[in-house]
Amino acid sequence: MTVVETPRLILRPCQESDRDLFYELSSDPLVLEFFPFRRSREDADAVFDIIIGLTPEEGFELLVLVLKQSGESIGFSGLSKPKLETFLPADAVEIGWRLSARHWRRGYASEAGVALLRHGFEALGLDEIMGVAVHDNDRALAVMQRIGMRREPTGDFDHPDIPASHPELRRHVLYRLSAADWRRQQIQPAEG
């Protein structure tokens, strides 16, 4: 069971008590600005049941971001193995996050991202971690840049799971960070 701590957060595996937060983040139009769908309560609960029923590989659980000070759960984050072999290597590992809009602009996504990179490279021994986002999702792109990831324009692609009814969401950009580059950043942190 993966648990990661930062100065302000505990990242812990998803549990039954996170069902309402999952629905909130699956239905909020602000949070889902760059997604082609919003889930009803029934749909969100069905997906949540699947998540709770999974036995994920160690290090690849859906993690909940919990504020240490208050104990409030504010979002989800984690490392995953995307099924996008046409566009990404078969062994690709992706970092991601989704936070409640009321907790944006406080650095929580970046703080969780930094901790997950450290966990991925140190505890899991990964060689590389990738990030993928809709081309004009400036908030997600800014987080990837802040945590030290670099854009790889030759890796941009039209996401096959985005329906033709949402052409504005199809183009995705790719960010990458290798373990070697991450280690160099730990010695000489990036400015910004």
Given a cut of 60, whether residue 166 has pLDDT beyond it is: yes
pLDDT above 70 covers a percentage of the chain that reads: 98
* Protein fold of 4-187: Aminopeptidase (3.40.630)
pLDDT of residue 187: 86
Tens digit of each residue's pLDDT (9 = 90 or more) over 31-89:
999 999 899 999 999 999 999 888 888 889 999 999 999 999 999 999 999 988 889 98
Residue 125's CB: how many other CB atoms inside 10 A?
9
Tens digit of each residue's pLDDT (9 = 90 or more) over 143-156:
999 999 999 999 99
Q: Which one-letter DSSP state was computed for residue 57?
A: P
> Parallel, antiparallel, or unpaired: how do β-strands 171-178 and 94-99 relate?
unpaired
pLDDT of residue 85: 84
pLDDT of residue 189: 56
- Across the chain, what does the average pLDDT equal? 94
How far is 138 from 103, CA to CA, in rounded Å?
17
Residue 79, helix vs strand vs coil: strand
Residue 28 to residues 23, 33, 44, 49: CA-CA distances in angstroms?
A: 8, 9, 12, 19
pLDDT of residue 190: 55
pLDDT of residue 133: 97
pTM of the model: 0.93
Residue 168 to residues 48, 60, 75, 145, 153: CA-CA distances in angstroms?
A: 27, 30, 25, 22, 18
Given a cut of 80, whether residue 191 has pLDDT beyond it is: no
How far is 144 from 158, CA to CA, in rounded Å?
19
DSSP string, 117-183: HHIIIIIS--SEEEEEEETT-HHHHHHHHHTT-EE-GGG-EE-TTS-TT-GGGTEEEEEEEEHHHHH
Tens digit of each residue's pLDDT (9 = 90 or more) over 83-139:
888 899 889 999 999 999 999 999 999 999 999 999 999 999 999 999 999 999 999
